Amino acid sequence: MRVRVLGVLGLLSVLLVLGLAFSILSAGSRALTQDLEINRVASLNRFSQVAADAASSNDWAGLQTAMDAYSGLYGEGVLVRSQDRMMVSGRLDPNRADVKDALFNASLNLSLTKLAPLRPFGPNAMLVSRSFGTANQVMGEVVLEIDAGAAQGKLRAMWLGVLAAATILEVALLFGAARVSRWVLRPIHRLNSAVLELEETGSMRRLPQDGPPELRKLSRSLTTMAAAVQGSLDQQRQLIADTSHQLRNPVAALRLRVDLLQLELKGSTDPGTISAVTAELDRVEELLDGVLMLATAENRAFEGAAGKAVGPAAGSEQGRANPYLTVQEELERASAAAGRNGTVLALGPPPEADVYVNCNPLELAQMVGELLENAIKYAAGGHVQVSVTAHPNTVDIDVSDDGPGMSPGDLALGTTRFWRSPDHRDIRGTGLGLTIVDKLAEANGGRLVLGTREPHGLRTTLAFPLVPLVEQRAPRARRDPGTQPLVEQRAPRARRDPGAR
């Protein structure tokens, strides 16, 4: 926008400077032409008067002397023609066409004493002519050749001075236009950046009020609106978190009462009723946990977007994580659940060199764990393959299974909150797992990619930018690069079922 404004202002300033320079040069040319014309016409009148006196007295010697003196002084030729003679001084050629025309017009008593405007370049020879004699009779003609070289030199010097001044003026105008446009457009660019920041992060820094009055008023209005939007978003996230926390207490109390009731009805002939109530409580607790985790993940995503838009906060440290070591730990924790489900877990070979990603280690573990639980649940009795691949600029954590997978249309909706595939409604879940992983990946500068595995199955990939490691922080456990199934090494960690399909 600034380039366009400067282009328009620059064009207007060029037109202004050219118009001013043209006016000055035209006035200077007219002034020089007028001075030259007055001076030479006075000399022409003097020669015509002397010629008339010489014709009356028949004494031409004085006239010739005056003509030679004039030509020697100014370098301009003079021609006087009477009825019986022609007198020439200087280098004026009587046979030139323009000289003959001047003599002819003068013989008709037509005086040619008006000079054309001077030009800095071009012919410098001009002619003026008139007749001499009495009021009733033309006795002869006088032609004066004018050398305009000196006047043209002055005009060229004037042109150079005016052009230099015009250039300086144009530079000054462009500099002033740049300062004015910067003064006017700086608030507009700041407003645009603030709107983009508000769109990406849901928050915006307070705008300084500078620039024209209209833009200052707009800055105040936008700051007020951004504060209202940010407050609304904060209240919405806080409401979700508070509601989830507040509901956990009555749900916990209800579970305690159900457990006590189950003990009292231990010998009941209809244990299915208590089991159904317990299952529903489990689902409510799972849903509350998922909503709370989603609110936390979305808040982290907003913080990550704010870090990209306005820079990280002072003293903030996101942390680095070793993805292969994290995957090993999560596979160990998930091995018990996989064993109960009949699912075989396999880990691919490690990268050739240690790789680290700029990600919160706990959140990376949570993301990998969610993907593993999701794969184990939907690929019951099948195989789950996990690999860590280092690329020149990224690191991919790939979790794939040979379960039923998802259709292309379902893949596009996989990270939508509370969405579950119609083909898997019979499998327990909340529809929040992949949404939480997607938000946490976004908060840490990565992304979650959903795809298919041939011939069937789901492939989920976490892609993070590769961080060059300056020094090793801790040795990592390496294993044989073969893709053998893992065995259980310790008790599994209690995790919430993601159910994101």
Instruction: Give the pLDDT confidence score for residue 11 in this predicted structure.
Output: 87
Separation CA 241–CA 125 (nearest Å) = 97
Mean pLDDT throughout 41-51?
91
Instruction: Give the pLDDT confidence score for residue 445 in this predicted structure.
Output: 85
Q: What is the pLDDT of residues 74-116, one digit of tens each?
A: 889 999 998 888 999 988 899 999 999 999 998 888 888 898 8
Separation CA 341–CA 5 (nearest Å) = 68
Q: Where are the beta strands (DSSP E) in 287-332?
A: none
- Residue 12 pLDDT exceeds 80: yes
Separation CA 111–CA 170 (nearest Å) = 45
By DSSP bridging, strand 125-133 and strand 138-147 are antiparallel
Q: Which of 463, 459, 461, 334 is nearest to 394 (CA)?
A: 463
Bigger pLDDT: 483 vs 322: 322
- Kindly list the domain boundaries of the chain, sorted by start residue: 2-154, 213-310, 323-467
Strand, helix or coil for residue 211 = coil
Instruction: For residue 491, name the pLDDT band (cuts at 50, 70, 90).
Output: very low
- Cα–Cα distances (Å) from 458 to 211, 408, 441, 462, in that order, read 55, 11, 18, 13
Bigger pLDDT: 453 vs 236: 453
The separation between CA 281 and the C-alpha centre of its own chain, rounded to angstroms, equals: 53
Q: Tokens 């399909």 belong to which residue?
A: 501
Instruction: Give the pLDDT confidence score for residue 434 in this predicted structure.
Output: 85
Instruction: For residue 461, name the pLDDT band (cuts at 50, 70, 90).
Output: very high
- Residue 337 pLDDT exceeds 90: no
Strand arrangement of the beta sheet that strand 138-147 belongs to: 86-89, 78-82, 138-147, 125-133
Separation CA 16–CA 177 (nearest Å) = 13
Instruction: Give the pLDDT confidence score for residue 435 in this predicted structure.
Output: 85
Instruction: For residue 474, name the pLDDT band (cuts at 50, 70, 90).
Output: very low
Residue 125 tokens read as 């020879």
CATH topology of domain 2-154: Beta-Lactamase (3.30.450)
Contacts of 289 (CB under 8 A, 6+ apart): 244, 496
Mean pLDDT across the chain, nearest whole number?
79
- For residue 367, give the H/E element and its range: helix 361-378
Mean pLDDT throughout 384-391?
91
- Residue 307 pLDDT exceeds 70: no
Sign of torsion, CA 235 241 246 250?
A: positive
Instruction: For residue 478, name the pLDDT band (cuts at 50, 70, 90).
Output: very low
Instruction: For residue 426, name the pLDDT band (cuts at 50, 70, 90).
Output: low
Instruction: For residue 499, name the pLDDT band (cuts at 50, 70, 90).
Output: very low
- Residue 369 pLDDT exceeds 50: yes
Instruction: For residue 393, name the pLDDT band (cuts at 50, 70, 90).
Output: confident
Amino acid at 375: A
Q: What is the pLDDT of residues 152-196, one digit of tens each?
A: 899 999 999 999 999 999 999 888 888 888 777 777 777 777 777
Separation CA 60–CA 465 (nearest Å) = 107
Query: pTM of the predicted model, to two decimals?
Result: 0.47
Q: Tokens 């159904």 belong to which residue?
A: 276
| Whether domain 323-467 has CATH 3.30.565.10 | yes
Instruction: Give the pLDDT confidence score for residue 189 in this predicted structure.
Output: 72
Q: What is the pLDDT of residues 243-298, one digit of tens each?
A: 766 666 677 777 777 777 777 766 655 666 666 677 666 667 666 676 667 766 66
Residue 420 tokens read as 């579950």
- Provide the percentage of residues in the chain whose pLDDT is more than 70: 74
Bigger pLDDT: 93 vs 6: 93
| Whether domain 213-310 has CATH 1.10.287.130 | yes
Strand, helix or coil for residue 392 = coil
